[in-house]
Structure 1
Amino acid sequence: MADAPFPSRRAVLAGAGALAAAPARAERLVADATGRRIGVPDRIARVFPAGPPAAILLYSLAPDLLAGWPARPPSPAEAAFLTRESAALPQIGRLTGRDNSANVEAVLAQRPDLVLDYGSTRPVFVDLAGRVQQQTGLPTLLLDGALPRIPETYRLLGEILDRREAAATRAAAAERILADAVSAAEALRARGRPRVLYVRGPRGLETGVAGSINTEIIEFAGAENVAASALGAGSLVQVSMEQVLAWNPDWVVAIHPGFPAHAKADPLWQALPAARRGRLVLAPGLPFGWVDFPPSVNRLLGLMWLPVLFGLRPRDGLAEAVADFHALFFHRRPDAAQVAALLGPALPGA
């Protein structure tokens, strides 16, 4: 699912018209995360991801089934962490989120066997999946994107795609990462929760509040999201420097690569004690963000990193663990220099 709610006043698909797709012959029934039972072909050879989170989930399990990238093709920097074949896949448009750009013709032109969405299972998104299925004639499945459900989601997708062994391997790895994150979070709460401000954009003035999937891993890791404590529930919000200074977070976690240079040159950001103490860090973002951009299984890397950042886990071993994760989930092991470049801005003094 995309990182913003579906805009209800806009059409789900442009140009639907009277176009009707010939539905694929259903060989078997499968259940998605919402409990909907949907007929899918017995052999699935091509899947259309509804948004970037679904594309990453699918790529991590079955890259050969991925029809293309919903938002844009990978940049050269991102492609360096992906398989050559997957990096060369085209942009196919997205069906969810603020920038939904695919229409019925674009979906059908890819000749997929099904449409896969991944993220929130709130009623609005269940309804969206039903409408996509009705308009395209393609089975459309919605899987739960919540962090704790990642192992369950892998196993379910493995059943759907007949990739059970590969799914079980990834589910087990995700379970280990989540269990360690829960243990670290308990230790962090006992020691004293760090107050964290997560910032997006080149100026660092967008953040997520309580209930936002964009900041889910901050709380999961045992830290306090200062914006959530101050602003309550919602999704993404704009904030002011006055608010940032008043919150006085212990850590600032940014995701835009241009933000650290901006903060270093901005007297207001430099007035923040966390910035002066070197506690303004850039979350790695290649090939996908470690915090939320987009919020998919790539966030497991963030749960490996944050306990190290907060001093609960040793730095020794993190680089190897990151390389192992990439090899399993992204199908390409980065070299030592690539991992060092990822971790340098993410760990003070690294």
Structure 2
Amino acid sequence: MHSENLILKFILMEEFMKKKLFTILLSVSLLFSLTGCAKEEPAKEPVKEVQTQENTETEETRTFTDSVGRTVTIPKELKKIAPSGPVAQLVLYTAAPDLLCGLAREFPETAKGYIDDSYYFLPVFGQFYGKNANLNMEALLAASPELVIDIGEPKENIGEELDSLSEQLGIPVVFIEATLPTMESAYTKLGELLGNTKECEELAEYCKELLEDTSKKAASIPEDEKKAIYLASGNEGLNTNASGSIHGDIVEQIGAVNAARVDAASTGGGSEVSLEQIFLWNPDIVLADTKELYEKLLKDPAWQDLEAVKNNQVYQIPDIPYSYINNPPSVNRFIGIPWLGSIVYPEVYTEDIRKEVTEFYQLFYHIELTEEQLDEIL
């Protein structure tokens, strides 16, 4: 009996040990299982990082609709821009000089001392297209502009040309229309594009107020009192920006008449005419686009019988840093409006021209003029 009890106790203890071992093994198994699950969690992290990167890239770009209706994807914040030509270069210098990473053309000699010296060291890309196209692709790509900006008068098929240019360069290209009557809206659109709305609105307001004031003054001049002006250019003075030319539209803006009634050339070089034709037009005033031509007109015997020459009504167009009347046909011509008005109709345009020039240069060319510089300019 005693031995049977021992056997039973042994069997019960064995069963107990088996159950305890099972419990231990189950606990260990669960522990490893939980540890394994914990180790799998970091596998989700790379997915999260990829998603964050994609969101960052999207936030760094935006779309801009240019003056011909093209929607272009550009960086959200622009740091480096390139002009397509001289007109764009000058407008961009007035609106956002610090963003220029290069030039379409070197600043002229007349600009020395009136344009910040640091801009003379920028690389020159050349003009992107047109009659004077001379783009240096290597210089452009080396400067790494984020955007190319074309500014001026819209040409036929300009949208297709810009799309093709952008594809060729691998750089977005936008167009901003900027003529004499649309310069205000050009600056407004540039403020949206470049992100300096406040500065560009100030320039836009200047253009708007000047054109509004001039239009009222021009309208007050009777038709029979309007004076005829001949714009003389070229070595002999026989090239001119005729009526209808974008390079000569300031004449009509002040209420005068362009004496040259011929087909207007589309380039700054102007239309070729004869001296006989100029005598037939008999302009009241002649404007010479260089000092050399101005002196020639005063001394050349061939011109001496022209009424404007006999009446001392020959003037040299100021060209520091750029022409007040024609080249380039950009915002430089806005100061030419009060200047020409004060010469042609001094009884109507009564503003202090020295004060007008000082204000314009400060606002657009970012320079405080000295009295000596004013004397040189005028």
Give the TM-score band, short-chain normalised.
Answer: 0.7 to 0.9
Q: 1:96 aligns to what SS in structure 2?
A: coil
- Structure 2 Cα separation of the partners of residues 51 and 325 of structure 1: 22
Aligned residue number for residue 279 of structure 2:
245
- Structure 1 Cα separation of the partners of residues 62 and 107 of structure 2: 33
Q: Give the direction of change, closer, same or farther, for the CA distance of 1:107–1:275 in structure 2 (3 Å limit).
A: same
Aligned residue number for residue 324 of structure 2:
290
- Structure 1 Cα separation of the partners of residues 159 and 218 of structure 2: 32
Q: 1:298 aligns to what SS in structure 2?
A: helix
Deviations 1:271-314 (A, max 9, x none): 21101111111111111111121010111011121211112445
Amino acid at match of 2:355: E
Deviations 1:157-206 (A, max 9, x none): 01000010000111111111111211221123456211111122232111
8 Å CA contact retained: 1:207, 1:237: yes
- Structure 2 Cα separation of the partners of residues 217 and 321 of structure 1: 17
Amino acid at match of 1:37: T
Aligned residue number for residue 341 of structure 1:
376
| Worse-superposed segment, 324-333 or 123-132 | 123-132
Aligned-pair CA distance for 1:244:
1.0
- 2:205 corresponds to 1:180: no
8 Å CA contact retained: 2:125, 2:136: no
Task: Give runs of ≥4 in structure 1 deviating > 6 Å.
Answer: none
Q: 1:39 aligns to what SS in structure 2?
A: strand
Counterpart selection for 2:262 from 212, 216, 231 = 231
- Structure 2 Cα separation of the partners of residues 173 and 216 of structure 1: 19
- Structure 1 Cα separation of the partners of residues 293 and 78 of structure 2: 42
Aligned-pair CA distance for 1:156:
0.1
- 2:167 corresponds to 1:167: no
Aligned residue number for residue 343 of structure 2:
309
Q: 2:77 aligns to what SS in structure 1?
A: coil
Aligned residue number for residue 367 of structure 2:
332
Aligned-pair CA distance for 1:72:
2.1
Aligned residue number for residue 59 of structure 1:
93
Could you say which structure has the higher helix fraction? 2
- Structure 2 Cα separation of the partners of residues 89 and 105 of structure 1: 14
The higher radius of gyration belongs to 2
- Structure 1 Cα separation of the partners of residues 158 and 333 of structure 2: 21
- Structure 2 Cα separation of the partners of residues 316 and 157 of structure 1: 29
- Structure 1 Cα separation of the partners of residues 347 and 129 of structure 2: 37
Aligned residue number for residue 26 of structure 2:
none
8 Å CA contact retained: 2:152, 2:179: yes
- 2:184 corresponds to 1:151: yes
Q: 1:148 aligns to what SS in structure 2?
A: coil
- 2:118 corresponds to 1:85: yes
Amino acid at match of 1:95: F
| Worse-superposed segment, 63-72 or 79-88 | 79-88
8 Å CA contact retained: 2:70, 2:159: no
- 2:102 corresponds to 1:68: yes
- Structure 1 Cα separation of the partners of residues 288 and 189 of structure 2: 33
Amino acid at match of 1:196: I
| Worse-superposed segment, 263-272 or 152-161 | 263-272
- Structure 1 Cα separation of the partners of residues 348 and 373 of structure 2: 22
Q: 1:332 aligns to what SS in structure 2?
A: coil
Aligned-pair CA distance for 1:234:
4.3
- 2:225 corresponds to 1:192: yes
Aligned-pair CA distance for 1:105:
2.5
Aligned residue number for residue 39 of structure 1:
73
- Structure 2 Cα separation of the partners of residues 210 and 88 of structure 1: 38
Q: 1:58 aligns to what SS in structure 2?
A: helix
- Structure 1 Cα separation of the partners of residues 213 and 375 of structure 2: 23
Q: Give the direction of change, closer, same or farther, for the CA distance of 1:101–1:231 in structure 2 (3 Å limit).
A: same
Q: Give the direction of change, closer, same or farther, for the CA distance of 1:127–1:218 in structure 2 (3 Å limit).
A: farther
Aligned residue number for residue 222 of structure 1:
255
Aligned-pair CA distance for 1:132:
1.5
Q: Give the direction of change, closer, same or farther, for the CA distance of 1:120–1:314 in structure 2 (3 Å limit).
A: closer
- Structure 1 Cα separation of the partners of residues 262 and 340 of structure 2: 23
Deviations 1:111-163 (A, max 9, x none): 10111111111224333322221211211111112111111100100100001
Q: Give the direction of change, closer, same or farther, for the CA distance of 1:316–1:215 in structure 2 (3 Å limit).
A: closer
Tell me the TM-score normalized by structure 2: 0.79
8 Å CA contact retained: 1:73, 1:91: no
Greater relative contact order (CA < 8 Å, ≥ 6 in sequence): 1
Deviations 1:220-275 (A, max 9, x none): 22111111xx3145432111111111111011112122111111221112221101
- Structure 1 Cα separation of the partners of residues 362 and 164 of structure 2: 37
Tell me the TM-score normalized by structure 1: 0.85
The alignment-based identity, stated in percent, is 30
8 Å CA contact retained: 2:226, 2:255: yes
- Structure 2 Cα separation of the partners of residues 315 and 255 of structure 1: 24
Q: Report how many aligned residue pairs link the two structures.
A: 317
Aligned-pair CA distance for 1:216:
1.4
- Structure 1 Cα separation of the partners of residues 275 and 91 of structure 2: 36
